[in-house]
């Protein structure tokens, strides 16, 4: 068993990377090329026989080609504009033609489905800037892990943010399920069970319990994204991506970095 990706595989004692993890990364890279990963900066070579030099490819939004640190700085500057009421006016027609042929978002957001929290609004960004996966409670599922891996391996997104928020109903359901053994109908109980580890990790029983569990849920999700999936683990180790966590404050609109 590989201690990094928690999957069966032959562990390479020198690198600490199992064969299944290496194969996964190789497969992801090959898939990215086959899917037209042209926005990394060069066009793929057409034929090994033809000695054509690679041609530079201009991405749909050149301003989105950023380092992980630059991407985080831009994201938080957008939130500052939003909080201060200085959001940019957006016109779909200004970017319509650029995005028809592709996309190169600079940040991926794993956020909650709550209607009061819109990543595009709170970070003051336009179409093509953010790659967003949303679900109640912003916890990890196989589907949104695949979505995030796609954004990194295929779209070259340098930043991932897990975005929780105050007064999260999904987190409240998890607290009630753990603390008071409450049962919920349908699939809602699965949601509460998925967030339950964050509830159990917080011993606080004060009025701040809900927000503290919400923060713990974000922190635990950030840690899982950094270390528990082969491709994200690889990119994070290579410092090609940053994975951070934030909490959206409903009253002010401010996003607080917590992880």
pLDDT recorded at residue 49: 36
pLDDT tens track for 148-171: 999 999 999 999 999 999 999 999
pLDDT-flagged residues of the chain (< 50): 1-17, 19-20, 31-36, 40-50
Distances (CA, A) of 113 to 78, 186, 216, 239: 20, 18, 18, 29
pLDDT recorded at residue 52: 52
Q: What is the 3-state secondary structure (H, E, C) of 191-212?
A: HHHHHHHHHHCCCCCCCCHHHH
* Cβ neighbours of 167 (radius 10 Å): 14
The C-alpha atoms of residue 177 and residue 83 are separated, in whole angstroms, by: 34
pLDDT recorded at residue 30: 52
φ/ψ (deg, to 5) at 189:
-65, -35
* Cβ neighbours of 128 (radius 10 Å): 18
Residue indicated by tokens 């500057």: 77
Provide the token pair at 4.
Answer: 């990094």
Query: Looking at the domain that runs over 59-257, which CATH code has it been given?
Result: 3.40.1050.10
The C-alpha atoms of residue 50 and residue 138 are separated, in whole angstroms, by: 48
Burial of 5 (0-12, 13-18, 19+ CB in 10 A): buried
pLDDT recorded at residue 46: 40
The C-alpha atoms of residue 166 and residue 157 are separated, in whole angstroms, by: 27
pLDDT tens track for 84-124: 999 998 877 778 888 998 999 999 999 999 999 999 999 99
H-type alpha helices, the chain: 19-34, 68-83, 92-100, 119-122, 142-153, 169-180, 188-200, 209-227, 230-237
pLDDT recorded at residue 130: 98
- Residues 169 and 117: beta-carbon distance below 8 Å: no
End-to-end Cα distance, the chain: 28
pLDDT recorded at residue 39: 53
Q: What is the DSSP letter of 54?
A: P
pLDDT recorded at residue 201: 97
Provide the token pair at 142.
Answer: 């196989």
């Amino acid at each position: 068993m590989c201690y990094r990706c928690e999957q069966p595989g032959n562990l390479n004692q020198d690198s600490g990377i199992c064969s299944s993890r290496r194969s996964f990364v190789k497969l992801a890279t090959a898939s990215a090329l086959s899917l037209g990963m042209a926005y990394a900066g060069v066009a793929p070579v057409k034929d090994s026989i033809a000695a054509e030099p690679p041609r530079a490819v201009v991405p749909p939004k050149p301003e989105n080609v950023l380092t992980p640190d630059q991407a985080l700085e831009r994201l938080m500057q957008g939130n500052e504009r939003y909080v201060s009421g200085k959001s940019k006016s957006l016109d779909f027609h200004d970017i319509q033609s650029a995005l028809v042929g592709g996309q190169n978002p600079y940040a991926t957001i794993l956020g909650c489905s709550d209607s009061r929290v819109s990543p595009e609004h709170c970070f003051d960004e336009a179409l093509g800037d953010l790659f967003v996966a949303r679900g109640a409670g912003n916890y990890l599922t196989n589907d949104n892990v695949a979505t995030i891996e796609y954004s990194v391996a295929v779209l070259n997104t340098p930043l991932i943010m897990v975005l929780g928020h105050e007064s999260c109903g999904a987190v409240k359901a998890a607290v009630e399920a753990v603390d008071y053994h409450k049962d919920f109908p349908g699939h809602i109980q699965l949601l509460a069970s998925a967030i339950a580890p964050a509830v159990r990790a917080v011993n606080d029983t004060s009025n701040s319990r809900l927000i503290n569990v919400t923060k713990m849920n974000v922190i635990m999700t950030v840690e899982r994204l950094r270390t528990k999936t082969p491709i994200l683990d690889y990119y994070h180790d290579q410092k090609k991506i940053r994975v951070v966590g934030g909490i959206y404050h409903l009253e002010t609109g401010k996003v607080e970095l917590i992880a």
